[in-house]
């Protein structure tokens, strides 16, 4: 399949606590960088749009257009912009997107005086009505121990199929220390739910050990095994472009 425009998301998001502090993850963007390099040598590729976290590895390859982001909201805006303006033929969404973001912050003293909560809604109302972020750009240390209320971030992966009905889409699923069958089952459920063509299933144990193992799962639950980040990157590029790896 001839692919002209490729969209790759890489690295990790960073969710602000205040204007100085943030919550992030350990993703380096190394795999995303290698995927970009693998596609840069593919016939017909004209542009590689590389949406990346601020600390992610930037690949050294031709036809690369970088789009730096910080938060999940930044990512959402960047994805919409690139998809609507450039209509990528393929998407490889390997960014480690935070599942949660900060909703409100109060002090532990405030929480101690709450008297308990009757429902999830009352928790949110209590935190929101006393949110220190409405008073401070940077939480002062004198405010006491902070208690943070998190909320779920919007899911990015299903958005790609909505914006790009004809594109080839690869999602990623990372679990930690699970049986192989569970890893593949979970990846396949994500594929079916999100409308992907493939999901790369991987276990953090192998990433941490420096022996990254990836399993590219398709709609029929078939899996292709790749050993090492470079092989994973090359395998994804080859599968989408119709080459061999």
pLDDT, tens digit (0-9, with 9 covering 90-100), for 176-193: 999 999 999 999 999 999
Angle CA 51–236–6, to nearest 5? 35
Does 28 have pLDDT greater than 70?
yes
**pLDDT mean over 214-238:** 97
Residue in 68, 94, 70, 56 with CA at minimum distance from that of residue 22: 70
Question: Which has the higher per-residue pLDDT, 168 or 115?
Answer: 168
Burial, 175: exposed, middle or buried (Cβ in 10 Å; 0-12, 13-18, 19+)?
middle
**pLDDT mean over 113-135:** 86
CA–CA distance, 89 with 7 (Å, rounded to integer): 8
pLDDT at res. 48: 98
Q: List Cα–Cα distances, 125 to 103, 122, 134, in angstroms.
A: 11, 5, 14
pLDDT tens track for 49-100: 999 999 999 999 989 999 999 999 999 999 999 999 999 999 999 999 999 9
pLDDT at res. 61: 92
Cα Rg of the chain, angstroms: 20
The DSSP secondary-structure symbol of 195 reads T
The beta-strand segments (E) located in the chain are 5-10, 15-16, 22-23, 47-53, 64-69, 90-93, 100-107, 146-152, 168-175, 198-203, 213-217, 223-227
Task: Walk me through the domains of the chain, giving residue ranges and CATH numbers.
Answer: 5-98+156-241 (3.40.50.10300), 100-152 (no CATH)
Residue 24, both tokens: 């992030």
CA–CA distance, 224 with 198 (Å, rounded to integer): 10
Cut 0.75: pTM above it: yes
Residue 128, both tokens: 């929101």
The neighbour count for residue 196, using CB atoms within 10 Å, is 27
Q: How confident is the model at residue 113 (pLDDT cuts 50, 70, 90)?
A: confident
Does 245 have pLDDT greater than 60?
no
Residue 226, both tokens: 């790749």
Residue 228, both tokens: 């090492």
Give the percent of the chain with pLDDT over 90. 85
Of the CA atoms within 13 Å of residue 166, those in its CB half-sphere come to 7
The neighbour count for residue 212, using CB atoms within 10 Å, is 20
């Amino acid at each position: 399949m001839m692919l002209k425009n490729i969209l790759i998301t890489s690295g990790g998001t960073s969710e602000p606590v205040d204007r100085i502090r943030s919550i992030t993850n350990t993703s380096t963007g190394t795999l995303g960088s290698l995927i970009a390099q693998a596609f840069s040598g593919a016939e017909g590729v004209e542009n590689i749009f590389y949406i990346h976290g601020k600390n992610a590895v930037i690949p050294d390859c031709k036809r690369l257009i970088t789009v730096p982001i910080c938060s999940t909201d930044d990512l959402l805006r960047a994805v919409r912009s690139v998809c609507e303006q450039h209509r990528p033929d393929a998407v490889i969404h390997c960014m480690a997107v935070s599942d949660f973001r900060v909703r409100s912050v109060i002090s532990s003293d405030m929480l101690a005086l709450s008297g308990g909560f009757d429902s999830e809604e009352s928790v949110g109302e209590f935190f929101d009505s006393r949110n220190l972020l409405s008073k401070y750009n940077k939480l002062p240390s004198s405010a006491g121990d902070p208690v943070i209320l998190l909320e779920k971030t919007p899911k990015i992966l299903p958005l790609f199929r909505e914006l790009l009905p004809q594109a080839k889409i690869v999602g990623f699923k990372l679990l930690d220390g699970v049986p192989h069958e569970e890893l593949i089952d979970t990846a396949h459920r994500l594929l079916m739910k999100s409308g992907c063509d493939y999901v790369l299933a991987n276990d953090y144990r192998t990433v941490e050990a420096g022996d990254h193992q990836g399993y590219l799962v398709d709609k029929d639950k078939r899996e292709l095994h790749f050993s090492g980040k470079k092989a994973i990157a090359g395998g994804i590029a080859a599968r989408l472009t119709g080459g061999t790896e």
